[in-house]
Amino acid sequence: EAEVAQSPRYKITEKSQAVAFWCDPISGHATLYWYRQILGQGPELLVQFQDESVVDDSQLPKDRFSAERLKGVDSTLKIQPAELGDSAMYLCASSFTNNQPQHFGDGTRLSIL
């Protein structure tokens, strides 16, 4: 079982609705990552946090996506409004520092109807 906790595991929602994902990293890990993995592709980084600060959100579609890690521990990724093309696996990962290997959660599979 993955040590990085994510919920929910599965989410089905209609387009134009809001959706949120939650991630609890491994205790003590300062760096947290959100990835999007489209079926048949490798994960692509959406946003990276160092403690509570965003250090890379260059690939985050900021018109509809937002991410926060207010206390530097757990994190929430939100999409509003959801679009059909957002259907994917959303993976959270954490590492002790940005130079250490990343540990992944089991992901949230999002389906937009």
- State the residues that interact with other proteins by CB under 8 A: 2, 4, 9, 33, 40-45, 48, 50, 55-56, 91, 93, 98-99, 101-107, 109
Closest distance of CB 81 from other proteins, Å: 26
Taking the least distance from each CB to other proteins, the nearer of 59 and 80 is: 59
Q: How far is CA 36 from the centre of its chain?
A: 7
At 31, is the secondary structure helix, strand, or coil? Answer: strand
Residue 84 tokens, joined: 């059909």
Question: DSSP per residue over 76-90, as a string?
Answer: EEEESS--GGG-EEE
Nearest approach, Cβ of residue 79 and other proteins (Å): 20
Q: For residues 41 and 80, which CB has a smaller minimum distance to other proteins in the complex?
A: 41
**Considering the complex, what minimum distance in angstroms separates the CB of residue 22 from other proteins?**
15
Task: Identify which of residues 2 and 81 has a Cβ nearer to other proteins in the complex.
Answer: 2
- What is the rounded distance in angstroms from the CA atom of residue 57 to the CA atom of residue 48? 7
Distance from C-alpha of 54 to C-alpha of 42, rounded to nearest angstrom = 22
Residue 61 Cβ vs other proteins, minimum distance, rounded to whole Å: 16
